[in-house]
Amino acid sequence: MDYGFDDDQQAFAQEVRRFAVKTLAPHYQSDDKAAEFRRQLALDMGAMGLTGLRIPEELGGQAATAVIAGIAAEEVGREDFNATYLIINTALISDIIVRNATAEQQRAWLPGIASGETVPCICITEPGHGTDAASLELKATASADGGWSLHGEKTSITLGMAADRAVVLARTGGPGARGVSAFWVDLHDPTVTRSAFDDLGSRAIGRASLHFDGTPVAQDHLIGREGEGFVSTMQGFDYSRAIIGLACLGAAQASLDEALQWARDRVAFGQPIGAFQGVAFPLAEAATHLKGARHVCLEALWRKDQGLEHSAEAAMAKYWAPRLAVDVIHQALLTIGHVGYSTEHKVGQRLRDVIGLEIGDGTAQVSKLVISRHLLGRQYAP
């Protein structure tokens, strides 16, 4: 058994950390204040290879393992949690495309994602269907030219205002998951209108509702086979949930590190506050829980790389890590006291930002449903 990263993984982590400190960290708070997606962020992430991690090398990507994608999310999450959305979204979307699209489609779509020039998003959620995504209603009707046209609304879409292209799940058949197909859609088409959310956190990434009013989709923009879009897309979520976990833990670890430094430096009643067990013990508990959650996330990704079943571990990562990160960041804020509560400090922004991923990509309840199925059997947790 070996608990450490190998030399290549360590070197990669250090390289990403250097990039994140130099290129991302200076914008974390100003991008939040601007509340607008900065296009250069995607280009910088692309130049660093971070939007092409799961894309084959011959198409401009890194062909990286799932563990490497997780390491990238954790390191970036320490410095700019919001930039991890570009890793999470591109890893999820390119994995769906690599597994399901034809070689020709991959050649057309993936290089732009790898370079950061094409910002993609994934459109599943609708006003009436979130957790129960298999009931989605957005309709794809067949056109005379063999393609389709999309009619309906998607909502709560990460990067919905900024994205150029989207994987859109739409109903092409009867009810349930088997009636859903996945399409690669040009969001600059004039039939697509967008409206922005005014969110609590991750304001530099943003969410939006997208209205498709007869949006044309060419025949060769169907991803995989008709009726198989739901299952093939959901398979990708398994491992992206562990990447999300590590992104959240990165933000939590940065906050814990800041709280520890504060506990060493801040003096009260003639002593550094870290000398009081009331201050030190919550930080000791946070460090312990972070280590545990990190192992769960990395195991899920390692299992994915080995071709082993990993959906229970990924669900554990998704249920535990975002919730834990919220708790740890909150504790760090309290440790830093009134200074932590100021918007000048990053810790409050991290708290706002991380809460979003307690919901996005599936809530804790849904993750626990997946875990329960694995523990008890499908007949007990349908």
Q: Which residues bind ligand FAD (CB under 6 A)?
A: 121-125, 130-131, 156-158, 207, 356, 359-363, 365-366, 369
**Residue 35 C-beta: closest distance to ligand FAD, Å:** 14
Nearer to ligand FAD, 130 or 282 (CB): 130
**Residue 134 C-beta: closest distance to ligand FAD, Å:** 12
* Residues 6+ positions from 34 with CB-CB distance below 8 Å: 204
**Residue 149 C-beta: closest distance to ligand FAD, Å:** 20
The encoded tokens of residue 216 equal 């044309």
**Residue 332 C-beta: closest distance to ligand FAD, Å:** 21
Burial state string for 118-132 with b = 16 or more CB within 10 A and e = fewer than 16: bbbbbbbbbeeebee
The encoded tokens of residue 165 equal 């292209």
Length of the chain: 382
Burial class (CB within 10 angstroms; exposed 0-12, middle 13-18, buried 19+) of 58? exposed
Nearer to ligand FAD, 13 or 366 (CB): 366
SS3 of 119, please? coil
- In 3D space, the residue among 116, 97, 96, 99 whose CA is nearest the CA of residue 108 turns out to be 97
Nearer to ligand FAD, 73 or 260 (CB): 73
Nearer to ligand FAD, 102 or 131 (CB): 131
- In 3D space, the residue among 99, 379, 138, 139 whose CA is nearest the CA of residue 237 turns out to be 99
Nearer to ligand FAD, 124 or 256 (CB): 124
Nearer to ligand FAD, 118 or 335 (CB): 118
**Residue 381 C-beta: closest distance to ligand FAD, Å:** 10
Q: Evaluate whether 122 touches 57 at the Cβ level (below 8 Å).
A: no
SS3 of 112, please? helix
How does DSSP classify residue 52? S
Nearer to ligand FAD, 124 or 279 (CB): 124
**Residue 239 C-beta: closest distance to ligand FAD, Å:** 16
**Residue 280 C-beta: closest distance to ligand FAD, Å:** 33
**Residue 43 C-beta: closest distance to ligand FAD, Å:** 21
**Residue 322 C-beta: closest distance to ligand FAD, Å:** 10
Residue with the CB atom nearest ligand FAD in the bound state: 130
Nearer to ligand FAD, 25 or 366 (CB): 366
Nearer to ligand FAD, 62 or 367 (CB): 367
* Residues 6+ positions from 121 with CB-CB distance below 8 Å: 89, 93, 157, 158, 159, 160, 163, 165, 166, 167, 187
DSSP 132-195: -GGG---EEEEPTTS-EEEEEEEEEEETTTT-SEEEEEEE-SSSSGGGEEEEEEETTSTTEEEE
- In 3D space, the residue among 189, 194, 171 whose CA is nearest the CA of residue 181 turns out to be 171
